[in-house]
Amino acid sequence: MQFIDLAKQQSLIKDALDSRIQAVLAHGKYIMGPEIKEMEAQLAEYVGVKYCVSCSSGTDALLMPLLAWGIGPGDAVFTTPFTFIATAEVIQLLGATSVFVDIDPLSYNISPELLDAAIGKVVEEGKLSPKVIIPVDLFGLPADYAAIDLIAKKYDLKILEDSAQGFGGEINGKMACSFGDVASTSFFPAKPLGCYGDGGAIFTDDEELYEKLVSIRVHGKGGDKYDNIRIGINGRMDTLQAAIVLEKFTLFPEEVKLRNKVAEKYNSLLKGHVVIPKVPTGFTSVWAQYSILAEDAEARQALQTKLKDSGIPTAVYYPKPLHQQTAFAHLNYQDGDFPVSEEISQRIFSLPMHPYLEDADIEKICELING
């Protein structure tokens, strides 16, 4: 059994994928070819925003808006410690300071109450200037934007939605990647909408920001690429990867439904045996991961071993919250600073999840967990 079965998906669109790839080889525009604009237009429409800027990865999709806003030394950027390193890495890369805020114990997303308190504290201390909030749509579930928006308004901060795992999720019909001032996603192969390499995209309704992002993507270009008006990066996505996303995107809306069916089946079989994921009313998850909680680290290890012995792969996202990572040691956080993230990281693990997971496989996995 596969943790994520990309071969099955490929078999459904193999011929169309091949012709898409052949079309790129035929026109030869490997950098910023026509598939880039075609993909950006389709994704912007799906998300319901004006602009989509494709880029080289989900990490650069986080970096580029922060660069555009001029985030740097002395600035505080608020985010969760229970995420992939990239979310906070980009803050440190720019010389700004990551201020971590613990998660909500049910959604595993940033806690709005604690966020408000953390910003208030930074304001009171007066050492850093609060600039940006980066909520993460963890495991495919959008963060609580209704509450986060109010906090951003109260302190006049920007919101950068890290939706690397969230593309395809919704809150009351409003799509993930449309929240906040700008949103980022990733097309890393294992994400809900992946390519066959690295890729990412940024979404916004802000025209001025859009223009800056387009410039930053190509070394801060001005009128043409040898007129440079700001410091940027080489942040382009390959035409071939856009061609692949375009073809995979034809399956995507149906895949979101299938992922939700898989999650419902897991939920119904696992309920009462382990802690299953909670999706708040009005929210739709795209189930980048289906993650459950064991009693403690030991029980988790026992369940993972039992599943592994039956050929079922599992994974732990994330075994160590960011404030406990060596890379962030200079921020001087202590064990115990974010008790919810610390406890969840000891108990959580993720089960195989992809749109084509068979009922029989789900039943086998759940029997082993429950038995």
Ligand X SMILES: *Cc1c(COP(=O)(O)O)cnc(C)c1O
Which residues contribute to the site for ligand X (CB under 6 A)?
57-59, 83-84, 86-87, 136, 162, 164-165, 186, 188, 198, 200
Burial degree of 122 (CB within 10 A; 0-12, 13-18, 19+): middle
Q: Which residue is nearest to ligand X (CB)?
A: 58
- In the complex, least distance from residue 58 CB atom to ligand X, rounded to whole angstroms: 2
Residue 190 CB neighbour total at 10 angstroms: 14
142: left (phi > 0), else alpha (psi -120 to 50), else beta? Answer: beta
- In the complex, least distance from residue 290 CB atom to ligand X, rounded to whole angstroms: 15
Which are the contacts of 23, defined by CB distance < 8 A and separation ≥ 6?
Answer: 35, 243
- In the complex, least distance from residue 314 CB atom to ligand X, rounded to whole angstroms: 17
**Between 186 and 291, CB nearer to ligand X:** 186
Q: Do the beta carbons of residue 23 and residue 243 sit within 8 Å?
A: yes
- In the complex, least distance from residue 167 CB atom to ligand X, rounded to whole angstroms: 11
**Between 178 and 186, CB nearer to ligand X:** 186
- In the complex, least distance from residue 83 CB atom to ligand X, rounded to whole angstroms: 5
- In the complex, least distance from residue 153 CB atom to ligand X, rounded to whole angstroms: 24
Place of tokens 């034809």: 250
Q: Do the beta carbons of residue 178 and residue 203 sit within 8 Å?
A: yes
Q: Which amino acid is residue 314, in one-letter code?
A: T
Q: What is the DSSP letter of 15?
A: H
Structure tokens of 139?
A: 């495991």
**Between 84 and 328, CB nearer to ligand X:** 84
**Between 61 and 68, CB nearer to ligand X:** 61
Structure tokens of 58?
A: 């989900």
Q: Do the beta carbons of residue 369 and residue 274 sit within 8 Å?
A: yes
CA distance 195 to 186: 9
Q: What is the DSSP letter of 223?
A: S
Q: H or E stretch including 123?
A: helix 112-125
**Between 108 and 266, CB nearer to ligand X:** 108
Q: What is the DSSP letter of 322?
A: G
**Between 61 and 312, CB nearer to ligand X:** 61
**Between 188 and 349, CB nearer to ligand X:** 188
- In the complex, least distance from residue 125 CB atom to ligand X, rounded to whole angstroms: 28
Most distant CA atoms of the chain, gap in Å? 66
- In the complex, least distance from residue 364 CB atom to ligand X, rounded to whole angstroms: 28
Q: Do the beta carbons of residue 89 and residue 59 sit within 8 Å?
A: yes
**Between 86 and 270, CB nearer to ligand X:** 86
Q: Cis peptide before 318, with omega less than 30 degrees from 0?
A: yes
**Between 86 and 176, CB nearer to ligand X:** 86
- In the complex, least distance from residue 31 CB atom to ligand X, rounded to whole angstroms: 19
Q: What is the DSSP string of 32-72?
A: S-HHHHHHHHHHHHHHT-SEEEEES-HHHHHHHHHHHTT--
